[in-house]
Structure 1
Amino acid sequence: MRLTCPHCGERDLREFAARGSAVVLSRPSAGASAEEWADYLHIRDNPAGEARDLFYHTPCGLWIEVTRSTITHAVIAARPVREAKP
């Protein structure tokens, strides 16, 4: 698989470190039950379709958000999350 770094261009996946989903989860409150915490830590939706994931491009230090299809594995978009190292 190849990803396009907005700073460096198209690169092999081996240059990136996958961080996981770009979707921010709502942390349970301090008084939450053990079941609520277990769900927060371990249960994730896995729908077919578009997914947003975070990747770190090691050579330039840029975090990117990649939108991809979980059905076809096609990369739909890639955008920077923060600027590259100078």
Structure 2
Amino acid sequence: MAKNVSLASMDQKLAMAKRYSYEGVVAGAKAAVVASVATAIPTFAIGKMSPWARTYLNPTAKALIISTVAGMAYFVVADKTILKTARQNSFK
């Protein structure tokens, strides 16, 4: 009987962890989209207006800037969301 309780408890913990991860992925994806748009507009605008940027920032550099910001936003928001959700439910 104790083994069944332990397995049920483990299944419940696994289900909760999957839910927390999914919530983190969704929040991170939303943040990445917002960060991409918020970064792409000024990056391309500066590329058109600034002589220095026109000379030194080729399309690959611009894409690297945008993707770096999007990746950072994704991981930061996903991590914070997972930790926040886990903390809220750890006291229950």
TM-score, structure 1 normalization:
0.30
Higher helix share: 2
Comparing both structures, which one devotes a greater share of its residues to strand? 1
Instruction: State the structure with more CA Rg.
Output: 2
What is the TM-score with the length of structure 2 in the denominator? Answer: 0.29
